[in-house]
Amino acid sequence: MKVRNPFTGQYDYELKEDTPEMIQKKATEIRTAQKKWQQHSIAERVAVLQKWLTSFTKFQAEIAEQLAVDTARKRISEVETGGIMGLMQAWIYRAPQLYKPPAERPSASAPTVQIGQQWVPYPLVGVISPWNFPLLLALIDTIPALMAGCGVLLKPSEVTPRFMDGLEKSIKAVSELTGVLQLVRGGAEAGKAVVQNADAICFTGSVPTGKKIGAVCAERFIPAFLELGGKDPAIVLADADLEVSTDAVLRSCAGATGQACQSLERIYVDESIHDQFVEEITTKAEKVTMTVNPKEGQMGPLIFEAQAKKIQEQIDDALAKGAKLHTGGKVENINGGLWCRPTVLTNVTHDMKVMTEETFGPVIPIMTFKTKEEGICLANDSIYGLSASVFSTDSDKAIEIASQLEVGAVSINDGSLTNKVYDAEKNSFKESGINGSRMGDAGFLRFFRKKALLIQTAHPETMAHFEEGSS
């Protein structure tokens, strides 16, 4: 598999794909090693994670460099590798506090029976991840799954595979990990083989792929934790601070070139402040600098060529249907990389793709509303329900609106806070996902099945219990 470099447009890396047979073999190896891994105490597993943190730190610069080529983002890659180290530290601290299967106790419904409760991890968790934050989304589920005692078969995206080389070195430096955590290289076919071999799936990616994986998992009767796409709305009330809301909306729409699931993609502004809001955000959008010279600038090129095409199609569709362009509007080829400046659109409607389909690019389509009820109704008019934002200087009003939004998380007076806050549990609504939260304590606890040992302490009931006419 030849892999495109998003900065130059050149296919300069070769990915050797694992065959289904190789993936099955890895799964068998993991199952063997996991038996011992599960028997370790939580303190022993934490000690191994500590070792991995040390080896990851050693390879951090190398991984960040590879990630920077994968994504054409140097600063974000440094933040991403640092974020993983933070996540490791967080689970080193939190997992032992959470691993507390309840002590043996008498049953309330059958007092002569003692209940012993065991937590049994899924032996083999398959993790399948996308290209937009390749390292973070590969490890966000992997780390707590390992801490719970699961083995992990991890398949990152074929679009951004270079970082796997450094990551693999960091894993191989920790002998206790090599059996229970194995990387799979490849695309959809490799992903399918992971799904076929696992006992539970953690998938982050698009809705169409998530639906396919969900169907296979249902057929195989294994849980699928699906974290999918979004079309996050922001509601900007008349009393919102204009400086705060335009700064946050622009950063949330255009940060990481809009290639984040929790990017704001639909902006609903009270009509009384619409013109001022548009003027301000357009002025700010025009000041955003591009990293055409990779040593400076704020916004990199689009990573995935197919996505760049979709972004242009959505902009063209909106303009053809009467949208007004204030700035940006074109995906340009600069020295082989595909670049899109922050694009501000008004006069948009829900008949346009840019207001209904995931864009995954730095596009800021703005609509007005007359009443807060209309704003809520527009925000909820979507197949997605990942997250949202509300901007208001009246926090009661903001919370009241947030409570009515059909999404798993609402940032108030900011955008996309779920990319910073990992300890707030949240579920995706609608087609944005299904099953236990990856955030908060549930991110660890969801990897256990609860097993009850029911210990009779009295003489068991006999057949006389069923004697007709007995009391």
**Which residues bind to ligand NAD, rule: CB under 6 A?**
128-132, 137, 155, 157-158, 187-188, 191-192, 195, 204-206, 209, 212-213, 227-230, 261, 358, 360, 386, 433
Q: Are 156 and 183 in contact (CB under 8 A)?
A: yes
Nearer to ligand NAD (CB atom), residue 99 or residue 131: 131
Residue 62 among the catalytic residues? no
Distance, in Å, from the CA atom of 130 to the CA atom of 152, rounded to the nearest integer, reads: 17
Annotated active-site residue in 150, 253, 261, 340: 261
Residue 227 among the catalytic residues? yes
User: What is the residue-wise DSSP string for 204-235?
Assistant: ES-HHHHHHHHHHHHHHT--EEEE----EEEE
Distance, in Å, from the CA atom of 438 to the CA atom of 425, rounded to the nearest integer, reads: 7
The tokens for 348 are: 């948009």
142 dihedral zone (left: phi>0; alpha: psi -120 to 50; beta): alpha
Annotated active-site residue in 227, 265, 357, 358: 227
Minimal distance in Å, beta carbon 435 to ligand NAD?
12
Q: How many CA atoms lie within 13 A of 342 on its CB side?
A: 29
Nearer to ligand NAD (CB atom), residue 24 or residue 206: 206
> Do β-strands 113-121 and 448-456 pair in parallel, antiparallel, or remain unpaired?
antiparallel
DSSP code of 432? T
> What are the backbone angles phi and psi of residue 236, rounded to the nearest 5°?
-110, 110
Distance, in Å, from the CA atom of 92 to the CA atom of 347, rounded to the nearest integer, reads: 50
DSSP code of 290? B
Nearer to ligand NAD (CB atom), residue 149 or residue 161: 161
Nearer to ligand NAD (CB atom), residue 48 or residue 261: 261
What is the number of the residue whose Cβ is closest to ligand NAD? 191
335 dihedral zone (left: phi>0; alpha: psi -120 to 50; beta): left
Nearer to ligand NAD (CB atom), residue 33 or residue 228: 228
Distance, in Å, from the CA atom of 177 to the CA atom of 391, rounded to the nearest integer, reads: 45
Nearer to ligand NAD (CB atom), residue 85 or residue 188: 188
Minimal distance in Å, beta carbon 227 to ligand NAD?
4
Distance, in Å, from the CA atom of 77 to the CA atom of 133, rounded to the nearest integer, reads: 9
Nearer to ligand NAD (CB atom), residue 130 or residue 443: 130
Given the structure tokens 């699961």, which residue do they identify?
Answer: 150
* β partners of residue 128: 155, 203
Minimal distance in Å, beta carbon 218 to ligand NAD?
14
Is 391 buried (19+), middle (13-18) or exposed (0-12) by CB count in 10 A?
buried
User: Which residues have a catalytic role annotated?
Assistant: 227, 261
